[in-house]
Amino acid sequence: MVYNPKGFEGSKPKFFSKKWWRETMKYWHLNLNEIQEMIGFCRQYKNILIFGVSENCEYILKFFDICNVRVNAFVENNLPEHKFCYREIPVITTDKLIKQFSTVDTGIILGLYNEHYESVIPYLRKCDFSYFDVSEHNKNIIMSKLSPKPPKETHIEIPITEHCNLNCKMCNYFAPLAKKQFYPLTNFRNDIKRLANLCEHKLGTLKIIGGEPLLHPNLIEILRISRETFQDNEIILVTNGTLLLHHENAKQGNIWDALKKFNIWILLTVYPININVNAIFDKANEYGVNIGIIPNLPNPDSEKKLHKFVLDPLGKQEAFTFINCGYFNSCVTMMQGGKIFPCPPAAHIHIFNEFFNENLMITEDDYVDIYKIKSFSDISDLCSRRVEFCKYCAIKSHGRWYKWEVSNKTIDEWIDIAGEESST
């Protein structure tokens, strides 16, 4: 049986465009300096109000809740008919604003869109209220990141190995430090079946990853189970590609036949090593297997760079920085035994802790157990809020890119060093 998921293109090879990646990176990262200024503005005042009542304004409220900034009320020209999606707080009209709040100890966040500023800003200036103008870009990203996603918009990755046949410096999954082990087939079958029941067999994307997934001795069976469980979903095998050509005649079978039969496509990350990428694409075309390639970032036209994911073992990162994490609400990880984590570093931190004898703690706040929850909404809620583990992630230091190198397995590859500069 050949599976053809709804909306899937079939056997046409596909590629991520450089433009698509640039726009994606731009969208998911906000102006963190502005966010820091906004938090600083709020801390100057006893009372904080959000001007506007809308879904967008509610997610600004959610962001403030996460950052321990107390918001007293929403402000609007007239009392609107609004169904609260996050949580309900008082709504006051502008004619009561000056009566209930002092201009000296009240700061106002402009949560409404810029098109309404023409009438609002002159009024606030006339009344002598201090206000903070949040950019449209940041408003949109805050709402997008903090909105719980339904299953069809959720992308879940399952690492079937944690070790890898490459040894990449600063690997965000800590694969160079990982011991050799495989996701047991029985556990995989049970876990993915339970996940499918929670999401009614509908996901945005299911990714089979590692480490390096082609090291798993039962990879073809895992692909079969994945497709039989999620018959109408896009399923991706994420690989460094080094073993693809060797697996045409592997002991467990022909991986290319399986990829074609189960309509699973390959997402290839290319490193500056001795690998025949053209031969891989030719083989994909020969078998009619979809294949995508991730261009090098931050410049798709340059050689491969590594993005250092900086950890703070002391856990002293400011709460507001989480909103600029590229993993936030976009990279859900299911580990062996059915624990769902909101990001790969949290899911794999046990590797780092064991190798370096550290104790970056995972608490019950940092994951959900698919065998203990009753609905997919618990997963959506987990991924759209700041978890306790976020305090270990030095998001402000995540902008540096380095030349690809082999790991020396030293702790400075994952923590920040004073005066460190990126290698460009």
Q: Which domains does the chain have, with CATH numbers?
A: 18-26+148-413 (3.20.20.70), 32-134 (3.40.50.20)
77, 78, 83, 89: CA torsion to nearest 10: 60
Query: Is the confidence at residue 215, as pLDDT, over 70?
Result: yes
Query: Is the confidence at residue 421, as pLDDT, over 50?
Result: no
pLDDT bracket for residue 11 (50, 70, 90): very low
Q: Are 363 and 188 in contact (CB under 8 A)?
A: no
73 membership: H or E segment, kind and range? strand 73-76
| Spatial distance between the Cα atoms of 396 and 398, rounded to a whole number of angstroms | 6
pLDDT bracket for residue 418 (50, 70, 90): low
pLDDT bracket for residue 25 (50, 70, 90): low
Query: Is the confidence at residue 202, as pLDDT, over 80?
Result: yes
What is the model's pLDDT at position 239? 96
Q: What is the pTM of this model?
A: 0.90
Bridging pattern class, strands 47-51 and 73-76: parallel
What is the model's pLDDT at position 12? 43
pLDDT bracket for residue 403 (50, 70, 90): confident
| Interval 351-395: pLDDT, tens | 999 999 999 999 999 999 999 999 999 999 999 999 999 999 999
| Interval 12-24: pLDDT, tens | 444 454 554 555 5
| Interval 91-146: pLDDT, tens | 999 999 999 999 999 999 999 888 788 889 999 999 999 999 999 999 999 999 99
What is the model's pLDDT at position 6? 44
Count how many Cα atoms sit within 13 Å of the Cα of residue 340 in the half-sphere of its side chain.
Answer: 27
What percentage of residues in the chain have a pLDDT greater than 90? 76
| Spatial distance between the Cα atoms of 392 and 243, rounded to a whole number of angstroms | 34
Strand partners, 76: 93
pLDDT bracket for residue 423 (50, 70, 90): very low
| Interval 238-279: pLDDT, tens | 999 999 999 998 888 999 999 999 999 999 988 888 889 899
Say whether the peptide bond before residue 272 is cis (omega within 30 degrees of 0): no
| Interval 279-331: pLDDT, tens | 999 999 999 999 988 765 444 455 667 878 899 999 999 999 999 998 999 98
